[in-house]
A and B are shown apart, each in its own frame.
Chain A
Amino acid sequence: MAMTLSRQTWTGVACALAGVAAVAAISRRRKTERLLHVETSRAFNRSSALLACSVLTDSAMEHYRGAFSNVAMYVPPAVATFSLLAGFHGGADRTPSTHAVRHAIYWSAALTGLAGTGFHLYNVMKRPGGWSWQNLFYAAPLGAPTALLLSGALGAAAERLRNQPAHEPRLLGMPAGKALGLLSGIGLAGTAGEAALLHFRGSFQHKAMYAPVSVPPAASALLLHASLAKPQPRWLARAMLQLSWLVGWVGTALHVRGVARHHGGWRNWSQNLFNGPPVPAPPSFSALALAGLAALRLREGERQ
């Protein structure tokens, strides 16, 4: 009797404990969900991951095309893979504190991007003609490593933001929303600059090629203004950022179509993926727009 009862009791106690744990977990989750700065961090982790995904595909393809002639050309795809994984991990993580491994990965991604810009600049300058349109168009693209730098910078910012107090978090000596807004705004402008150079190379042969050189720069300007001016709701900046997000995905679809329009289409994929418009490039706009939207949400609630 005692044995039976005790078994039932234990079962009951176990159920009760599980219930309490579940409720506690849910309430804790509810509580952490309200931490705006952690949600912003997660958005930046995800944005960094999307950028890393672009860099991984693009650098793997283009460095394969360049026959990995320099051993250093293996580094960006490898680092971007880690940055991508860190972004997945951070995007799901609600912990309000910096994750040391992710933070280290992001820093190495940023440094790789910085070094890559140097390598690409060297590649442009060593070619006959040096600093010329021809080499800016056809040598190693100067803007490409910056995407890895941005992926690292967005991720590192996300990690540092997590360590900040929930009330009035700060980054780089200024309100966090302002700092993140500036970072995403500058990144968006830079990416638009690269699109401008390469779409100019493609002589804007399709009207849609004007979209990434008009919408994201406008979004960038509005976001920079929202960051620098007195905080207040900015519906137009939000709308333009959302439009930039759309431009990224529609651009990807149009680039897929661009590959199809090349001689032999997708059946000749092994050549046309290189000769056609770069399919992995446009999602960078969507990534930076996501970061910009998260930064804007944080910025709109700030006091100075």
Chain B
Amino acid sequence: MNPYTSRYPGYDVLNKRDTPSWDAITRKVIAQRMATPSEPGFLDIVRWRALEALCACIVPQAADRPQAPLAGMVDMRLQKNAGDGFRYARLPPLREAWLTGLHALDEESKARHELPFASLERSAQNALLSQMQHGELTSAHWKGMDAQLFFTQRVLPDVCGAYYSHPYAWNEIGFGGPANPRGYVRMYYDRRDPWEAVEAKPGKERQAMEKNRRVR
């Protein structure tokens, strides 16, 4: 991979693991997150395949880069039953919503294409998700759950939340990672603390790369 295609060339948030930027608890939490297995711990294998396909549609990841185990992270969340602390009254609790939603998605897919969601072409998958987003999926398999609400309040936040909680996504967007225990001391526009990523200006990629090597 050409590092210059990144907006933050040479920046790797994981390089800060043994610097003052991370403390013991940060190291522990990130290590756990990085070690999330890409296999189901809560879902059955059929729903797991649907979830993997769904994650690939919502956050497509380049094949030539290390990928965040999104389905594994969502499954881990279901396994721990770690809710948000609040939910839409019209949606069932976390586990129930995902079990119902993934099953209904497969059934809707079978009704249209005689294939489970994971076996569809990407275009057919996206078309189906678009129908879900617009509230056009209303079969009995949803057990009364609003498919549109499931899409906007469960699928998007849970999958995107999983992606942006992963260090690979931090590298991509130049996020400095946990502010604890360092803290920000340059609270003004266009100011960068020494532990934050350097954004490359066009034609200045090499300089940004040099600076990103010293980020700690």
Q: Point out residues on A near B: beta carbons under 8 Å.
A: 65-67, 138, 263-264, 267-268, 270-272, 274-275
Contacts and interface: CB of A to CB of B under 8 A. Distances in A.
Nearest to A264: B181
A234 to B, nearest CB: 44
Contacts of A67: 186, 191-192
Contacts of B193: 271
If over half of A's interface residues share one DSSP class (helix, strand or loop), that class is named, otherwise mixed; here it is: helix
A263 B194 contact: no
A275 B185 contact: yes
Contacts of A268: 20, 181-183
Interface of B: 20, 180-183, 185-188, 191-194
A67 B185 CA distance: 12
A267 B192 CA distance: 21
B183 A275 contact: yes
A65 B185 contact: yes
A140 to B, nearest CB: 11
Contact of A263 (B20, B183, B188, B191): B183
Given A138-B188, A267-B20, A270-B20, 8 more contacts: A67-B186, A138-B187, A264-B181, A264-B183, A268-B20, A270-B182, A271-B183, A272-B183
Contacts of A138: 187-188
A275 B187 CA distance: 10
Contacts of A275: 183, 185
A67 B182 CA distance: 18
Contacts of B183: 263-264, 268, 271-272, 275
Contacts of A264: 181-183
Contacts of B20: 267-268, 270
A255 to B, nearest CB: 16
Contacts of A274: 185
Nearest to B191: A67
Contacts, number: 31
A11 B191 CA distance: 72
Nearest to A262: B183
Contacts of B181: 263-264, 268
B24 to A, nearest CB: 13
B182 A271 contact: yes
**Which one of A65, A270, A271, A275 has the highest number of Cβ atoms from chain B below 10 Å of its Cβ?**
A271
A301 to B, nearest CB: 50
* Top 8 closest pairs, chain A to chain B, by CB: A274-B185, A264-B181, A271-B183, A275-B185, A271-B185, A271-B182, A268-B181, A275-B183
Contacts of A270: 20, 182, 194
Nearest to A272: B183
A201 to B, nearest CB: 14
A281 B181 CA distance: 26
A286 B132 CA distance: 72
A270 B182 CA distance: 8
A65 B182 contact: no
**Which one of B183, B186, B192 has the highest number of Cβ atoms from chain A below 10 Å of its Cβ?**
B183
A233 to B, nearest CB: 49
A159 B188 CA distance: 42
B76 to A, nearest CB: 30
Contacts of B187: 138
Nearest to B185: A274
A18 B199 CA distance: 71
Nearest to B183: A271
Contacts of A66: 186, 191
B26 to A, nearest CB: 12
A286 B210 CA distance: 44
A267 B24 CA distance: 14
B150 to A, nearest CB: 40
